[in-house]
């Protein structure tokens, strides 16, 4: 029988295979050994595209050690002159992993890869440092920017954003003024960033003045993000009528409406005790071709739960599903939290059990909320059951939350206390405070069950020091 002939993988074919491979570890193996089993294999000449693909896959997977090995290989592959975008992507990967020093080091090394640095790399580095809250290092990089490139509007937008994040609007204005003095024209992002910062710092008059200035002096139309920032600012200071008027201005000026506009107004309507206007906002939203999203429905659910209108909250949840908008865990947690606050823990537990059927798994907040709810109504057996389920799915209870119920458990003098303590042992989560309460229990109750509990604790774990 004739053996099938092994086909040699070409650089073009390797790029295609790397693009399709979802597993970064398998992609790395393929990159390093494209023709490993071919009898006539020669040293492989990787293409720039192959380097780019494998570096991106490893960076997204946070396999930085492996990625850096590939980068070292690229550095010594003198046939190839990498493009700056590769280094920008890597700096972004480092920032997401909160590794600002890695991003700085890579920026310094870019010339060793036969690639010049431009303002694009500088901006990426500045944004990476901003993500990591390395504000002092941003100042250092910007001070030496002219060694690499001339700053552009994007550079100043990042610096303005950094000032706003630090709630230093005075510094943001200084950066804006410097931008203008250099002859760099601001764009809609510049104004949007500064207006958002002013609104976050409660400087609404200044924010509206800047909006007027951008339209009058710079002939730039505000976009939806600017309107949302202003509407949120007005709602935060309970100026709901003005916020609604600003939404009307969006319609007049044909600015594209987005769900966040109506979500903000719906949430504010509940806070202003004007829940009767919510249905009208929702109807107008649909009429204007703006489809409610998960955040919109969650705002409604939260508002109804605050008003103890649980029938309406469940109705919003059902309407959400009916309209093809999938509820997330926040949707359920808000209702469960509201029910528990009203001591309707049985209904809350029913909803927890119904979550998987509705395509949403409970998270640690769901379980902790139910645990607190059962403890509040002194249903310690059910609380222990929740704790056991948390243990099964790999979630830990909150020690502070659990500790505040131990006194009640001691007073209860029932077997649920023993079960509860054994659940804590399973999680290896008895802190010193809890151990002292266990000892207190033993001093108050000399029963066999208590001594068996203590023996179980000693056999499971060593006593904490102190």
The residue assigned the tokens 């916020």 is 243
The residue assigned the tokens 């104004």 is 191
Rounded Cα distance, 163 and 69, in Å = 36
Q: What is the pLDDT of residue 378?
A: 84
Question: Hey, what are 321's tokens?
Answer: 């599903």
Contacts of 324 (CB under 8 A, 6+ apart): none
Cβ(122)–Cβ(148) below 8 Å: yes
The residue assigned the tokens 């550079």 is 155
Rounded Cα distance, 53 and 63, in Å = 14
Cβ(327)–Cβ(294) below 8 Å: yes
Domain ranges of the chain: 387-466
Name the region of 4 (left: φ>0; alpha: ψ -120 to 50; beta: rest): beta
One digit per residue, the tens of pLDDT, for the chain of length 466 reads: 344 455 677 888 889 999 999 999 999 999 998 876 655 556 788 899 999 999 999 999 999 999 999 999 999 999 999 999 999 999 999 999 999 999 999 999 999 999 999 999 999 999 999 999 999 999 999 999 988 899 999 999 999 999 999 989 999 999 999 999 999 999 999 999 999 999 999 999 999 999 999 999 999 999 999 999 999 999 999 999 999 999 999 999 999 989 999 999 999 999 999 989 999 999 999 898 899 999 999 999 999 999 999 999 999 999 999 988 999 999 999 999 999 999 999 999 999 999 999 999 999 999 999 988 998 888 877 887 887 788 788 876 666 665 656 666 656 555 555 556 555 555 555 555 555 555 555 555 555 455 555 565 555 554 444 4
Cβ(331)–Cβ(317) below 8 Å: yes
Q: What is the pLDDT of residue 148?
A: 86
Rounded Cα distance, 392 and 426, in Å = 10
Q: What is the pLDDT of residue 457?
A: 52
């Amino acid at each position: 029988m004739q053996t099938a002939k092994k086909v040699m993988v070409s650089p073009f074919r390797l790029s295609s295979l790397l693009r399709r491979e979802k597993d970064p570890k398998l992609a790395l193996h393929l990159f390093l050994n494209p023709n490993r089993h071919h009898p006539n294999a020669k040293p492989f000449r990787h293409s720039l595209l192959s380097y780019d693909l494998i570096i991106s896959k490893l960076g997204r997977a946070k396999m930085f050690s492996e990625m850096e090995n590939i980068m070292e290989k690229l550095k010594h592959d003198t046939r190839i002159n990498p493009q700056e975008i590769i280094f920008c992507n890597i700096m972004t990967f480092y920032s997401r992993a909160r590794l600002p020093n890695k991003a700085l080091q890579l920026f310094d090394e870019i010339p060793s890869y036969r690639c010049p640095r431009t303002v694009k790399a500088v901006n990426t580095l500045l944004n990476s440092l901003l993500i990591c809250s390395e504000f002092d290092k941003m100042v250092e990089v910007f001070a030496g920017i002219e060694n690499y490139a001339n700053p552009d509007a994007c550079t100043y937008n990042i610096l303005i954003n950094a000032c706003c994040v630090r709630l230093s609007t005075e510094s943001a204005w200084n950066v804006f003024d410097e931008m203008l003095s250099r002859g760099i024209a601001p764009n809609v992002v510049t104004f949007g960033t500064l207006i958002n910062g002013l609104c976050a710092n409660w400087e609404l008059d200044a924010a509206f003045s800047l909006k007027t200035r951008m339209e009058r002096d710079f002939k730039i139309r505000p976009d939806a993000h600017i309107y949302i920032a202003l509407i949120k600012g007005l709602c935060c200071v309970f100026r709901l009528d003005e916020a609604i008027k600003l939404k009307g201005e969006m319609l007049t000026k044909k600015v594209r409406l987005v769900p966040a506009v109506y979500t903000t107004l719906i949430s504010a309507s509940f806070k202003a005790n004007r829940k009767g206007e919510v249905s009208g906002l929702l109807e107008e939203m649909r009429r204007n071709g703006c489809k409610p999203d998960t955040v919109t429905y969650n705002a409604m659910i939260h508002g109804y739960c605050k008003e103890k209108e649980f029938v309406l909250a469940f109705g919003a949840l059902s309407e959400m599903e009916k309209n093809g908008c999938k509820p997330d865990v926040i949707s359920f947690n808000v209702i469960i939290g509201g029910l528990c606050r009203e001591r309707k823990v049985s209904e809350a537990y029913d909803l927890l059990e119904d979550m998987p059927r509705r395509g949403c798994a409970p998270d640690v907040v769901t379980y902790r909320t139910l645990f607190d709810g059962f403890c509040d109504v002194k249903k310690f057996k059910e609380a222990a059951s929740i704790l056991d389920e948390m243990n099964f799915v790999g979630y830990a209870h909150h020690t502070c939350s659990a500790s505040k119920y131990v006194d009640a458990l001691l007073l209860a003098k029932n077997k649920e206390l023993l079960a509860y303590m054994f659940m804590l042992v399973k999680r290896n989560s008895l802190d010193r405070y809890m151990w002292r309460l266990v000892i207190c229990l033993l001093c108050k109750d000399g029963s066999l069950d208590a001594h068996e509990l203590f023996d179980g604790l000693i056999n499971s774990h060593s006593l904490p020091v102190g």
